[in-house]
A and B are shown apart, each in its own frame.
Chain A
Amino acid sequence: MLSDIFINPFVDMVAAPDFLMQVLWEGLVSGILYALIALGFVLIFRSSRIFNFAQGIMVVFAALTLVGLHAYGVPAWISVALTLGVMFVLAVTIERVVLRPLVGQPDIILFMATIGITLFLIGFGETIFGGENKQMITAELGIPTGDTVLEPFGGLLILQHLDITVVIVATLLVGALLAFLNYTRMGRAIRALGDDHQAALSVGISLQTIWVLVWFIAGIIALVTGIAWGARAGVSFALEVIAYKALPVLMLGGLESITGAIVGGLMIGILEKLFEIYWGQPLLGGNTETWFAFVLALVVLLFRPQGLFGERIIERV
Chain B
Amino acid sequence: MKHFTKMAAAALIAGVTAGAAMAQELYAPNLAYRTGPFAATGIPLMNGQADYLTMLNARDGGVGGIPVNAEECETGYSTEKGVECYEKTKGKAIVTQPWSTGITLQVLPKTNVDMIPILAPGYGFSPMADGKVFQWAFNTPSGYWDAADMIIQYLSGQGDLKGKKIAFLHLDHPYGKEPLPLLEAKSGAMGFELVPIPVGLKEMQNQSAQWLQIRRERPDYVVMWGWGAMNAGAITEAVKTKFPMENMIGVWWSGHDADLAIVGDAGKGYKSISWSFPNADAPVMADIKKHVVDAGLSKSNETEMQGVFYSRGIVISAILAEGIAAAQAEYDTAEISAEQLRWGLENINMTEERIKELGLEGMVPPFATSCSNHTGHSGGWMLEWDGAQFVKVSDHLKPDTSGYAELINTKAAEYAEANAPWPTNDACEG
A interface residues, Cβ below 8 angstroms from B: 16, 19, 22-23, 26, 29-30, 122, 126, 130-133, 135, 147, 158, 160, 229, 232-234, 236-242, 244-245, 272-273, 276-277, 281, 285-287, 289-290
B206 within 8 A of A: yes
Known contacts A131-B35, A281-B213; A30 and B206 CB within 8 A of each other: yes
B233 within 8 A of A: yes
Are B197's CB and A22's CB within 8 A? no
Contacting chain A: which of B234-242, B246-254, B390-398, B405-413?
B234-242
Residues of A near B40 (CB, < 8 A) are: 131-133, 234, 236-238
Are B209's CB and A239's CB within 8 A? no
**A153 vs chain B, min Cβ distance (A):** 15
Contacting chain A: which of B57-65, B256-264, B286-294, B341-349?
B256-264
Q: Which of B42, B197, B240 has the most CB of A within 10 A?
A: B240
Residues of A near B261 (CB, < 8 A) are: 135
Known contacts A26-B212, A131-B40; A287 and B232 CB within 8 A of each other: no
**B385 vs chain A, min Cβ distance (A):** 15
A240 CB contact (under 8 Å) in B37, B206, B216, B241: B37
Which secondary structure characterizes the binding site on chain A? helix
Are B229's CB and A135's CB within 8 A? no
Are B259's CB and A133's CB within 8 A? yes
Known contacts A132-B40, A277-B213; A26 and B208 CB within 8 A of each other: yes
Residues of A near B240 (CB, < 8 A) are: 147, 158, 160
Instruction: Report the Cα distance A240→B229, complex, angstroms.
Output: 11
**A294 vs chain B, min Cβ distance (A):** 11
B201 within 8 A of A: yes
Are B215's CB and A19's CB within 8 A? yes
Are B205's CB and A233's CB within 8 A? yes
Are A158's CB and B242's CB within 8 A? yes
Contact with A along B23-58 (1 / 0, CB 8 A): 000000000001111111111100000000000000
B72 within 8 A of A: no
Instruction: Report the Cα distance A138→B6, complex, angstroms.
Output: 64
Instruction: Report the Cα distance A160→B206, complex, angstroms.
Output: 14
Q: Nearest residue in A to B232 (C-beta to C-beta)?
A: A233
B198 CB contact (under 8 Å) in A126, A272, A273, A286: A286
B interface residues, Cβ below 8 angstroms from A: 34-44, 172, 196-206, 208-210, 212-213, 215-216, 228-229, 232-233, 236, 240-242, 258-259, 261-262, 304
Q: Nearest residue in B to A122 (C-beta to C-beta)?
A: B35
Residues of A near B39 (CB, < 8 A) are: 126, 131-132, 236-237
Instruction: Report the Cα distance A289→B44, complex, angstroms.
Output: 31
Known contacts A131-B40, A135-B261, A232-B233; A242 and B205 CB within 8 A of each other: yes
Q: Which of A16, A135, A277, A281 has the most CB of B within 10 A?
A: A281
**A201 vs chain B, min Cβ distance (A):** 38
Residues of B near A241 (CB, < 8 A) are: 37, 201-202, 204
**A130 vs chain B, min Cβ distance (A):** 7
Q: Nearest residue in A to B36 (C-beta to C-beta)?
A: A237
Are A229's CB and B258's CB within 8 A? no
Residues of A near B199 (CB, < 8 A) are: 287
Q: Nearest residue in B to A126 (C-beta to C-beta)?
A: B35
4 shortest A-B CB distances, which residue pairs?
A131-B39, A238-B229, A133-B40, A238-B37
Task: Kindly list 10 other residue pairs between chains A and B, CB separation below 8 angstroms, not including A234-B262, A289-B203.
Answer: A23-B212, A131-B34, A158-B242, A237-B37, A244-B202, A276-B209, A281-B197, A281-B209, A286-B210, A289-B202
Instruction: Report the Cα distance A158→B296, complex, angstroms.
Output: 49
Q: Which of B36, B215, B241, B242 has the most CB of A within 10 A?
A: B36
Instruction: Report the Cα distance A229→B262, complex, angstroms.
Output: 13
**B302 vs chain A, min Cβ distance (A):** 13
Are B198's CB and A287's CB within 8 A? yes
B206 CB contact (under 8 Å) in A16, A130, A131, A229: A229
A30 CB contact (under 8 Å) in B44, B172, B208: B208
Instruction: Report the Cα distance A160→B236, complex, angstroms.
Output: 12
Q: Nearest residue in B to A291 (C-beta to C-beta)?
A: B200
Known contacts A135-B262, A244-B202, A289-B203; A26 and B209 CB within 8 A of each other: yes
Are A234's CB and B259's CB within 8 A? yes
Residues of A near B200 (CB, < 8 A) are: 287, 289-290
Are B197's CB and A286's CB within 8 A? yes
Residues of B near A122 (CB, < 8 A) are: 35
Residues of B near A281 (CB, < 8 A) are: 197, 209, 213
Known contacts A287-B198, A290-B202; A131 and B172 CB within 8 A of each other: no
